[in-house]
Every structure is written in structure tokens, then in C-alpha cells.
Amino acid sequence: MIDYCGKTFLYHGMLRGGKMEGYRYQQFAYLIMPLTVGIELFLTARTERKKNGKESAKTVVMDAFGYVFLGIIPALFLFTIYNLENHRLLPMTLVLHRLDRYCVMFFFLGSWWQVFLITSLRAMRAANRDAKIFLSVWVPYLAFGVFISALILWAAPWNLMWVSVFWFVSTFCLFAAIGVPPAKLAKIFFVMAILVLAAENFFFIIFDAIV
């Protein structure tokens, strides 16, 4: 039995009494974030097409990643859980467990960079429309921030949930007070998303080597 980021993985059988591990149900709620990212990518690609009046490499890439977040990631997640919980594809058990551990890391730390990416995409669309950003950018940013903080860190030690909430509120207050324009916000949050994504994968390599 190995504990990995607070989640329990049983290498000699995932089922007990025919019931799915309890943390799996929490993981289903994590799917809200990649699904939202996929939708935001499609919406932003459509806005870019209307703005430029033509297809571009940027919109094609956005659409491609939209399919990844909206289709491939949830499908891979469900495929992994189904086969582990039902003891299918036994020759691939170790591969599935490693993929499962990455899924946990993706949905755990990944929720933060996905919020940053969603905010970047919404700010990009606001810049294209010259729209006010409080309702279109900041309200979703704060709502998703509080949501993932409570979902993931509800039982975490050292008041980490409130540290996370404070991060989202303080960054909103800072950028709003400075009056950062939407176009610059889109770039800032995109860089933040890339940095957290890189850190997530760095930690995964270390943790996976340890366990």
C-alpha cells in the first residue's frame, strides 16, 4: 500500500467488497476543470476567428487542445479508473498505476494552472471585445479559485485551504488595483499556468522515482 499525495493506491487489488475507493468520487469533481478549459479554448478560438476573419495556426492549436481537454483527458481518466477498479488489462497494471498517479497529480496540482489558463483565455476574449473584466474574468477566477481550494485542500494541514483562497483574493486585488489591462492579464496568467505546469511535472518525476 503506497500513499501518494494523500491518495491510497493498492497494488494488489483496488477493490474491497466490490466498492470503488472513496477518493475516486472526489476525482470526478476534478473533471470540472479540464472540461472548462476545453470549452474556454473553443470559445477563444471562435473569437479569434471572428476578429481576424480567417483561420490561423493559433486557432487550430486552440481547437486541438480543446479536444484534448474536453475529450481525451476525461476519456483517459475514466479508462484508467475502469481498468484498475475492475482488474482489466492485468499485463499493463504497472503502466496503469503510473498513469493513475499522474492523473492524481494532474487533477491535484493541475487545478491551479488550469484556473490560470482559464483566466488567461477569458482575459484574451475580453481584450478582443474591449469589455470590462470584473464579471467576465475576475468573478470566474475567484469562483474557480475558491472551488478548487475547498475541494482539494478542505482537510489539508496548516490552513492550506485558506492560504490558497488568500492567493486568489490577493492576486485579484493586486491586479485590479494596478489596473492591468486584459491583454497583459492574458499574458501574465498564461506564464503562470506554464510555470505551475512545469513544476507539477517536475514534482511528479521526483515523487514517482521515490515510490
pLDDT one digit per residue (tens) for the chain, 211 residues = 333 333 433 333 433 444 666 666 777 888 899 999 999 999 999 999 998 888 899 999 999 999 999 999 888 888 877 777 777 777 777 777 777 777 666 666 678 999 999 999 999 999 988 778 999 999 999 999 999 999 888 878 888 999 999 999 999 999 999 999 999 999 999 999 999 988 887 877 777 667 6
Residue 96 CB contacts under 8 Å (≥ 6 apart), including other chains: 80, 83, 84, 89
Question: Which amino acid is located at 8 in the chain?
Answer: T
Cell 490552513: give the residue. 159
Question: Tens of pLDDT along 36-94?
Answer: 999 999 999 999 999 888 889 999 999 999 999 999 988 888 887 777 777 777 777 77
Question: Which amino acid is located at 160 in the chain?
Answer: L
Instruction: Return the bridge partners of 25, or none.
Output: none
Give the separation between CA 23 and CA 6, rounded to whole angstroms: 10
Residue 63 CB contacts under 8 Å (≥ 6 apart), including other chains: 41, 42, 45
Quote the pTM value.
0.83
Instruction: From 137, 102, 103, 134, select the one nearest 117 (Cα to Cα).
Output: 137
